[in-house]
Structure 1
């Protein structure tokens, strides 16, 4: 009789966005095993966001597989390939590791027959789609932040020289905080002349009264462009 380890994974963001849940995934996998007469050897529940395989529960699976020196044929079942990985480079690296452990990862909603050479094309599609979605989502988020800041909105913590405030409409904005804002603007004006290095500008600005360490001044260097 076939056996398998069940792997369910979700992050808080994904659960809100896609409706994923650990119990839902687990229930579907258990029903699949029952219908296909597969004995469940263990269930690993991962509530952890990671781009690579440095996940607590996944590491437990690998440790268990490595503990059996006889290397019997094993299976790891999950719902879709994006539960396995959302990074195609790390995914192929892990596939190699599992191959060495005589273990097959299988997605019940996106089945792949590893004995069929042509199946590697479909596998590449399944693995690349979640990575492309992540990249697009990240780009959209970055574009949204830039658009909001151009419109005067600032949802995060105010940078040095500014304080957080809300308009009467509830819009989050930042406003200059004197004298720090004036000193940062002066620092920007000195730097764009091209005469001084960023460290020289920092020293002169500190001498004028700005309280800021060398590390923090470098950290907030990009804010000089906003001040200008």
Structure 2
């Protein structure tokens, strides 16, 4: 059988560690010799699996599509191939089902072909999911680092005009006032605050004075750049990040009262911000009309909650209302359907453990402690339920403690799923997912409306209302759990649109 070797790295650490391109190529070449695969193409490239444009990968897909023979695509691990369920995965799955390709992952001990069993497909899907969790955890680490910088008053990114970026004697990045441009920026605020100068007049003044941007290729400030400069609170000591103000540690260029005066001139009058206090509805903002695409909005009438299309495009002749209780019926049916029997959960988890036995050298004490704490809370929840049935505690106390334990477990689950070795230990997260699916209805019923809405948003996607029926698609990996519960040999996305049973 012909074979294509694919090796890829996306970070500097991977280049230097055992996942370097040469190391991957050596392992894959040895694997192909042992399996008597004839390698006719080798690809190795350095780019992120999360980018939308990957020219090298597109070349591989073109070769696979146009090949007249069955071709094996060999990658060291699942996450070296792809990290999320995109059109690329759908195309690979289509070629696999047609018998045109096989997918080989030596380090993961997985070979996928057109007759692969449900267990292998499940392992592959979980592997992709956990690779995405790994990518998300890296992103979270960057976010946390940025959050710490913000708390310390450090600006993330390029300094605004009037300031310059530099490195101090210790090599730390810092910002200082630009002695050449800062006087002109201050003059801009002073001129505008008088109310006697327009942006265009200030633009002309600054252009004649020779003020230019602090970019790599300095250019005169346009009216748009002037506008954003005059709206930037950085100059009086605050930095604006995602519409939130934080105090920075750098010297101020102007006084706040000068900035406020400029804003008063720009706005023309003072406006008070209006905030809409949204009422707690389970499906608020989650459902679209299947006919016109408008949002399905909730309202209350005589103690009941109803949902209807806004009919903004005037597609419907009359407004049709659906009770929230009717929309919840298929949700409860779904939560019951993804509840796998204990025997099947144990079998799947055991298969995953056996398949990844050689990958568990990196299992850390931190993760063990998290699992231990999670199981301890699970035991408390079990005892809590027994106490409720025995009548030793009230229902209110049970609901309060159950919610508290569930929230703690949710936080622990977040820590587990974001563990930096998650991609080598995906059977653990698979176990958690399966057990979470098993308790899905219990969690949903014992949560407050905001948590229920968040839970549905986590579980479902593409929710639509069609003829009073709720249509939805399960998110990964719960579509795989649903397939496993029915012993279906399907990957997510093949046919996971479901409708309520009548």
Aligned counterparts of 2:134 and 2:231: Cα–Cα separation in 1: 30
Per-residue CA distance 1:141-171 (angstroms, 9 max, x = gap): 1332342244344575422221124445543
Distance change in 2, residues 1:224/1:21 (3 Å): same
For 1:176-195, what aligned pairs fall within 5 Å after superposition?
176-177=177-178, 178-182=182-186
1:107 to 82, 105, 108: 105
Residue number in structure 2 paired with 1:162: 163
Per-residue CA distance 1:77-97 (angstroms, 9 max, x = gap): 010011111223345323235
Residue number in structure 2 paired with 1:83: 80
1:227 to 235, 256, 269: 235
Indicate yes or no: 2:149 matched with 1:151: no
Residue number in structure 2 paired with 1:129: 130
C-alpha deviation, 1:126, in angstroms: 0.6
Cα pair 1:52 1:85 within 8 Å, conserved: no
Cα pair 2:82 2:89 within 8 Å, conserved: no
Distance change in 2, residues 1:221/1:86 (3 Å): farther
Aligned counterparts of 2:55 and 2:127: Cα–Cα separation in 1: 24
TM-score (norm 1): 0.73
Indicate yes or no: 2:70 matched with 1:73: yes
For 1:207-218, what aligned pairs fall within 5 Å after superposition?
209=206, 212-217=221-226
Aligned counterparts of 1:74 and 1:222: Cα–Cα separation in 2: 60
- SS of residue paired to 1:173: strand
1:98 to 95, 111, 115: 95
- SS of residue paired to 2:44: strand
Distance change in 2, residues 1:224/1:64 (3 Å): same
Aligned counterparts of 2:81 and 2:230: Cα–Cα separation in 1: 37
Unmatched tracts of structure 1, length 5 or more: 191-199
TM-score (norm 2): 0.37
C-alpha deviation, 1:50, in angstroms: 4.8
C-alpha deviation, 1:137, in angstroms: 1.5
Distance change in 2, residues 1:153/1:17 (3 Å): farther
Aligned counterparts of 1:171 and 1:59: Cα–Cα separation in 2: 40
Compare CA radii of gyration and give the structure with the larger one: 2
Cα pair 2:83 2:129 within 8 Å, conserved: yes
Cα pair 2:7 2:75 within 8 Å, conserved: yes
Residue number in structure 1 paired with 2:28: 29
